[in-house]
Chain A
Amino acid sequence: MSSRLQAEHLYKVFGRRPDDAVERIRKGADREELREDGVTAAVIDASFSVAPGEIFVVMGLSGSGKSTLLRMLNGLLEPTSGRVSFDGRDLTALDDRELREVRARKISMVFQHFALFPHRSVRENAAYGLEVQGVPRAERERRADEALALCGLAGWESSWPDELSGGMQQRVGLARALATDADLLLMDESFSALDPLIRRDMQDQLLELQKTLKKTIVFITHDLNEAMRLGDRIAVMRDGRIVQTGTAEDILLRPADDYVASFTKDVDRSRVLTAESVMDTEVRGDEADCGCETADPATPFTQLCALSARLSHPVAVVAGGEGEGGERRLVGVVPRQRLVGFLGGRPGTEGGEPVPCDRPGDARGEKVISRA
């Protein structure tokens, strides 16, 4: 089975008689209706699965239930209904002691506001999870120092959290989560409290670490750009429900509804789109024969633009080859018009040929005064 973490029909309802509320929601009652009775449905019928080594991002605005969802994954909150299974074990069936054991060894967590213990040094913070497991002092300090070094904090072990900048504090938070060798990392808006440059740094570092560590990560964010950057797959939440699950491109190019589409408006498409997602797959077959530069399907959008500017004809997208002696095959073409269209946020413009201008000569006759 390829999924490591699986959530099946999770519900979380706060308030009186939550089970009744779940029943009412299943029968079609909506959230507002329940709220009038003082019952809050935080998460409604959430199902997804996360593959080993995958970064799964849950994206939603505040109040969408994403943090509640995350806390059900490690049992900090008990689902009102539904199942969470991890490595084939049903977490919802465990008792408190077993659940604590799983949290200590298998699942660790990184918090929005770092949640470092102010009365412990950086090393003691990083070693906290190991201390809970009962690892002897010498070993846990060694492993804590390793984790700190991994996060770029070598030399800061004996400092105190309040002496570090926000970014460094979150590195300590990350090191604390990594030190336990847990397979599953839950990250709750972990980079949201950092300023943009540091946030970018931390994202890069997480991706870098992930290349070697191959953890399974569930990452919560309200920032779609961050979601697109980090997520192998993204779940978009709205009002307690998951409205769409898919890759960054799926979300961007094939939004499930207007809500998701409105979300994607402000996204910097050039970072997400690749040649594969913008190319026109209807090809004649000879476009790559001219010996000009070509793109491959993974070529980022910005590079594609640069390429297109240098060519007088559409860019050919060629797959395969790559030094393995495989057969190079033309898979699509990207006309310049199409590039501009995607950038403008109209992903559905396939075949949208330019409309001819009916009075091209007028531009000269009635002088348009343009002042840029």
Chain B
Amino acid sequence: MPRIHLGDRVDDGVSWLVDHMSWLFDAIKTVVEGMYDGVDAVLGAPSPLLMAGILAVLAWWLRGLAAGVLTFAGFALIDSLALWDRSMSTLSLVLVATVIALVIGVPVGIWAARSKTVSSVVRPVLDLLQTMPSMVLLIPAILFFGLGVPAGVIATLIFAIAPGVRMTELGIRQVDAELVEAAEAFGTSPRNTLLRVQLPLALPTIMAGVNQVIMLGLSMVVIAGMVGTGGLGGAVNESIGQLDIGLGFESGLGIVILAIYLDRVTGALGTQLSPLGRRAAARARAAGGTKAWEHRPRPAVAVVGVVVLALVAGGMGIFGSSSSGSVQASDGDIGHGKKIGIGYIPWDEGIATTFLWKEILQERGFEVTTSQYTAGPLYTGLAAGQIDFQTDSWLPTTHAEYWKKYGKQLDDLGSWYGPTSLELAVPAYVKDVESLADLKEHASEFDGRIVGIEPSAGEMGLLKSKILKAYGLDGTFKVVDGSTPAMLAELKRAYAKKEPIVVPLWSPHWAYNNFDLRKLKDPKGAWGKGDDVHVLARKGFTEDNPVVGKWLKNFSMTEKQLTSLEAEIQKVDKGQERDAIRAWLKKNPGQLDKWAPVGDAKTE
């Protein structure tokens, strides 16, 4: 069979779109960002408990007293898990994505219901959108819309739009043909047939679609978190990256609470909106009578309640603000509030240095934002100039693929740590396996299995192409593709049961602190020389910020400094990295001035 180079075409198409249609994408981006900021500002403005109150009144009105009380409890729990801001930004993201999905999806669904041609064209497109793995769509989304919320919203939207279209089409098609004919027989125009007969009768089905859109949107939140949307998705990604089961569970719980709330509220909204639903509800009430926990306030009461709470919230927002902000201007104010964005992969040395530099630069008067990504989006964002720099680039081996693709659009500011090493490691309790050469005869102990990480990782490439060959492990060992968190979890499990296991690792890595592991020697030198950890900046960053560029170029850390900083960060909770950095800087006086000398800048 001839090889069809479809992928190349797609590549070309994407680049063409990026080059020629950027005005369109920018416009979309502006709209989406504006919507998101607006919704987020509204949801985030009131103090958490007040907002929880507003959401609870809504639930009370739509579903009854019990729902209201549970809503309040649920959101109070989110607040007490210190996930409030993240939850509200996730909620905003989902709401914006849902609204856009419906604005597009419902009309398309109506159109599809009226025309067989449209329906048969739309259906495979929906299949594509719904089943194409979302990561595949995520990278183009970053190229088009940049990192952050718009890409996240678009990715969520693409994934979640299908049920909106399908259920609208289904709902309208399900309306009894005789009713539509009756409407026509009385001279109803097609438009009015749609508005007076088809849509009202299709509404329960359409609302079920809305519900599905929201649920799918929420399930996409974690993936959207990979492109820097933050929120609960970001928290989940962080915790996965660091194998922090506790945080992962907490943020997961936050998503669940949001999901249940949105599900019940939209369900009830469907009943309230559709005449048939109202009628059924009224009949049920007439039949059974109302219980105390089903009590619902009159709409007027509910609206007044929401308005009062919102006004209180608004008032508190006005009086409560202006407490934060205003960076202390010291003699070292070189940045004058200039904005710098740092991106990082949630690897320990990345987190440590990113927050270290955040602190240093803030100290020097810059306004610094940090956002977390997976490696692919991070490099894409950096190459597109949406991120200023990142500190955790492993070159020349581990990140070789990214460097090959984006190197020309990046500035290498040199290494600050090295050399690192790649290795296979076994727990210390595994006897007689000291070097890679020993693996072959012990293959059966390990079930002939090396528990690998992401197949895209540079280390995995080396492992499969060089190490296995060099030590004759080709037939005896199989490298299992997976992910870093999965590998670490498997390591943890095996370690607890003292089972033999062999995994690819690299130094520095916190696993060496947590577990007693043995790095397998590499007598043939097949791993090659170790990587150095580089700082990469977007093209033009050093021209824009010559002083910072110089600082970063001169930046270096010893293993002792790095591990002590990492240890300091391990001690504090997520989100409190700043305290850890400050504590560390206090223990290492003068280090800040050494890394970011003020005099240096003044002489320039």
Q: Which A residues fall within an 8 A CB radius of B?
A: 74, 76, 100-105, 107-109, 111-113, 115, 117-120, 128-129, 132-133, 160, 176, 180, 186
Report the minimum CB–CB distance from A156 to chain B (whole Å).
16
Inter-chain CA distance A119–B276, complex, in Å, is 5
Contact A119 B201 (CB under 8 A): yes
Chain B residues within an 8 Å CB radius of A176: 186
B82 at the interface (CB under 8 A from A): no
Q: A115-B176, A117-B179 are in contact. Are A108 and B186 (CB under 8 A)?
A: yes
Contact B188 A132 (CB under 8 A): yes
Contact A76 B187 (CB under 8 A): no
Q: A115-B179, A117-B197, A160-B279 are in contact. Are A76 and B185 (CB under 8 A)?
A: yes
Please name 6 pairs of A and B residues whose Cβ atoms are closer than 8 Å in the assembled complex, sorted by A. A100-B189, A108-B185, A115-B178, A118-B276, A119-B279, A180-B186
Q: Mark B200-229, 1 if CB is under 8 A from A, else 0.
A: 110000000000000000000000000000
Chain B residues within an 8 Å CB radius of A119: 200-201, 274-276, 279
Q: A76-B181, A113-B178, A115-B178 are in contact. Are A132 and B275 (CB under 8 A)?
A: no
Inter-chain CA distance A76–B185, complex, in Å, is 7
> Would you list the 9 A-B pairs with minimal beta carbon distance, nearest first?
A104-B187, A103-B187, A115-B182, A119-B275, A109-B185, A100-B187, A115-B178, A129-B186, A119-B200
- B178 to chain A: closest residue by CB: A115
Chain A residues within an 8 Å CB radius of B189: 100
Inter-chain CA distance A133–B178, complex, in Å, is 20
Report the minimum CB–CB distance from B278 to chain A (whole Å).
9
Inter-chain CA distance A76–B178, complex, in Å, is 12
Report the minimum CB–CB distance from A114 to chain B (whole Å).
8
Within 8 A of A (CB), among B78-103: none
Q: A118-B276, A160-B279 are in contact. Are A100 and B181 (CB under 8 A)?
A: no
Which DSSP category, helix, strand, loop or mixed, fits chain A's interface? mixed
Contact A132 B187 (CB under 8 A): yes
B579 at the interface (CB under 8 A from A): no
Contact B181 A115 (CB under 8 A): yes
- B176 to chain A: closest residue by CB: A115
Report the minimum CB–CB distance from A194 to chain B (whole Å).
16
Which DSSP category, helix, strand, loop or mixed, fits chain B's interface? helix
Number of A-B pairs, beta carbon distance below 8 Å: 60
B184 at the interface (CB under 8 A from A): yes
Inter-chain CA distance A115–B179, complex, in Å, is 5
B174 at the interface (CB under 8 A from A): no
Report the minimum CB–CB distance from A238 to chain B (whole Å).
25
- A108 to chain B: closest residue by CB: B186
Chain A residues within an 8 Å CB radius of B192: 132
Chain B residues within an 8 Å CB radius of A129: 186-187
Q: A111-B181, A118-B201, A119-B201 are in contact. Are A101 and B176 (CB under 8 A)?
A: no
Chain A residues within an 8 Å CB radius of B181: 76, 111, 115
Inter-chain CA distance A53–B331, complex, in Å, is 102
Pick from B178, B186, B200, B201: contact of A128, CB under 8 Å: B186
- A128 to chain B: closest residue by CB: B186
Chain B residues within an 8 Å CB radius of A132: 186-188, 192
Inter-chain CA distance A120–B274, complex, in Å, is 11
Size range of the chain B interface in the assembly = 20 to 34
Chain A residues within an 8 Å CB radius of B178: 111-113, 115
Report the minimum CB–CB distance from A99 to chain B (whole Å).
8
Contact B182 A109 (CB under 8 A): yes
Report the minimum CB–CB distance from B108 to chain A (whole Å).
24
Chain B residues within an 8 Å CB radius of A186: 185
Chain B residues within an 8 Å CB radius of A117: 179, 182, 197, 201
Chain A residues within an 8 Å CB radius of B176: 115
Report the minimum CB–CB distance from B187 to chain A (whole Å).
3
Report the minimum CB–CB distance from A15 to chain B (whole Å).
16
- A109 to chain B: closest residue by CB: B185
Contact B201 A103 (CB under 8 A): no
Other than A117-B182, A119-B201, give 11 A-B pairs with Cβ distance below 8 A. Answer: A76-B181, A101-B187, A103-B186, A104-B187, A107-B185, A109-B186, A111-B178, A111-B185, A119-B276, A129-B186, A176-B186
Report the minimum CB–CB distance from B279 to chain A (whole Å).
6
Pick from A100, A102, A111, A160: contact of B182, CB under 8 Å: A111
- B182 to chain A: closest residue by CB: A115
Chain A residues within an 8 Å CB radius of B186: 103-104, 108-109, 128-129, 132, 176, 180
Inter-chain CA distance A117–B195, complex, in Å, is 13
Pick from B185, B275, B279: contact of A74, CB under 8 Å: B185
Inter-chain CA distance A101–B186, complex, in Å, is 9
Contact A103 B184 (CB under 8 A): yes
Chain B residues within an 8 Å CB radius of A133: 187
Report the minimum CB–CB distance from B48 to chain A (whole Å).
40
Inter-chain CA distance A112–B179, complex, in Å, is 11
- B201 to chain A: closest residue by CB: A119
Chain B residues within an 8 Å CB radius of A102: 187
Interface centre among B178, B183, B187, B188 (most CB of A within 10 A): B187
Chain A residues within an 8 Å CB radius of B197: 117
- B179 to chain A: closest residue by CB: A115
Inter-chain CA distance A109–B181, complex, in Å, is 10
Contact A103 B185 (CB under 8 A): yes
Chain A residues within an 8 Å CB radius of B200: 119
Inter-chain CA distance A337–B361, complex, in Å, is 121
Inter-chain CA distance A176–B188, complex, in Å, is 14
Chain A residues within an 8 Å CB radius of B275: 119-120
Report the minimum CB–CB distance from A109 to chain B (whole Å).
4
Report the minimum CB–CB distance from A230 to chain B (whole Å).
20
Report the minimum CB–CB distance from B596 to chain A (whole Å).
69
Chain B residues within an 8 Å CB radius of A160: 279
Inter-chain CA distance A132–B201, complex, in Å, is 18
Chain B residues within an 8 Å CB radius of A112: 178
- A118 to chain B: closest residue by CB: B276
Chain A residues within an 8 Å CB radius of B184: 76, 103
Within 8 A of A (CB), among B164-183: 176, 178-179, 181-183
Within 8 A of A (CB), among B271-313: 274-276, 279
Contact B201 A105 (CB under 8 A): no
Report the minimum CB–CB distance from A75 to chain B (whole Å).
9
- A112 to chain B: closest residue by CB: B178
Report the minimum CB–CB distance from B77 to chain A (whole Å).
39
Report the minimum CB–CB distance from B434 to chain A (whole Å).
78
Chain B residues within an 8 Å CB radius of A104: 186-188
Inter-chain CA distance A186–B187, complex, in Å, is 14
Inter-chain CA distance A180–B186, complex, in Å, is 9
Chain A residues within an 8 Å CB radius of B279: 119, 160
Inter-chain CA distance A109–B275, complex, in Å, is 25
- B276 to chain A: closest residue by CB: A119
Inter-chain CA distance A103–B185, complex, in Å, is 6
Inter-chain CA distance A76–B184, complex, in Å, is 7
Chain B residues within an 8 Å CB radius of A76: 181, 184-185
Inter-chain CA distance A59–B273, complex, in Å, is 44
- A162 to chain B: closest residue by CB: B279
Inter-chain CA distance A128–B178, complex, in Å, is 15
Chain B residues within an 8 Å CB radius of A118: 201, 276
Chain B residues within an 8 Å CB radius of A120: 275
